Structure 1
């Protein structure tokens, strides 16, 4: 049976990336092979409920939002996420897929915006970055660095200098919540004239770490 282990499905505001502020249905898959020290969704590492793709589509339809975000955990750890994303795109939704960047993004439908992390040293998982994913990116995709410290910022700046991204593929610098002052990060970006966008996590400003929001 085509099914996925789901932690939660809910409707809220998208807090990050291009669609920040838009009403969005979130599909949070269970399980993740990484253990980033700043992870705010550790409750999705285990548990969950097996749900058929048909039932997931029905629940998404019931929320009535145009935007859908497939997230985790790590959604790409479950192979059936690939047909789910394709079916969501076929149904006309604006779909994004949030991935840690440690697994192959190529099977994911390119109609979806693949929001891919590049893990910094302070995440504890920088060795897991799958750099060949960069070759699969399109202008519809997005890159995110979660910055925990000045050292993380300098590391991310060095990585940016050595990679070529498709025109229109934005790079987001997001401050690790509670670890770095957002104004400091903003000042560093301005001082270096970095071609990145500062990302404030809207959902954290509105609802802190409340699950399902």
Structure 2
């Protein structure tokens, strides 16, 4: 069983609930969206991927990173490839902590409950807000994350409206992340302080550290 893999790498997790931890990343190739500020275009717009078996991926982790339990499965959009589910199961069977990063346009209902889900709700500046699958909110719990990537005040107000409409604060963790080099983290921080809601400001730690 093979997956189309854009890359695997070992780095500091820069986002999500395990930010700061050394993590083994598996980036799957292909995406069904075209966000305007996408920072991983190479994972969807070229044919530069490898066809790798599940066993090869697991062996890579076992041989080099098995002391690290944190696994991030990302993309692209990892849920486009059905083979991602047995990959997740294999890592879970190895007692790993698996986090999947998804754009929120495909159903989460088949993901195992142990998986940490970091799901985008796309904002207007992405150009992809019409693709949000809001029924996915029902598959999230307090261990999971909804992430809004914020470029401007319009995005910010859009996100606040969705938080209220779907009562997100009571259901899951909510993160606001500024578009890198488009909105300053300080300005977004000030906006968050104004609204006085338990929303986490997320800054892409790996970019600050100039890491992968």
Q: TM-score range by the shorter chain?
A: over 0.9
- Contact in 2 for aligned 1:16/1:201 (Cα 8 Å): yes
**Match of residue 101 from structure 1:** 104
For structure 1, the residue ranges without an aligned partner over 5 or more in a row are: none
- Contact in 1 for aligned 2:168/2:174 (Cα 8 Å): no
Q: SS where residue 110 of structure 1 aligns?
A: coil
For structure 2, the residue ranges without an aligned partner over 5 or more in a row are: none
CA distance in 2, matches of 1:194, 1:156: 12
Q: Does 1:61 align with 2:49?
A: no
- Contact in 2 for aligned 1:25/1:63 (Cα 8 Å): no
Cα deviation for residue 17 of structure 1 reads 1.2
- Contact in 2 for aligned 1:95/1:112 (Cα 8 Å): yes
- Contact in 1 for aligned 2:163/2:169 (Cα 8 Å): no
8 and 84 in structure 1: CA distance in 2 versus 1, 3 angstrom threshold:
same
168 and 134 in structure 1: CA distance in 2 versus 1, 3 angstrom threshold:
closer
Q: Does 1:83 align with 2:86?
A: yes
C-alpha RMSD of matched pairs (Å): 1.3
Aligned residues: 208
Q: Please list the CA deviations of residues 119-159 of structure 1 after superposition, one character each: whole Å capped at 9, or x if unmatched.
A: 00000000000000001112221110000101100110111
Cα deviation for residue 195 of structure 1 reads 2.0
Q: SS where residue 39 of structure 1 aligns?
A: coil
Q: Does 1:73 align with 2:76?
A: yes
Q: SS where residue 79 of structure 2 aligns?
A: helix
TM-score by length of 2: 0.94
- Contact in 2 for aligned 1:137/1:165 (Cα 8 Å): no
**Match of residue 12 from structure 2:** 13
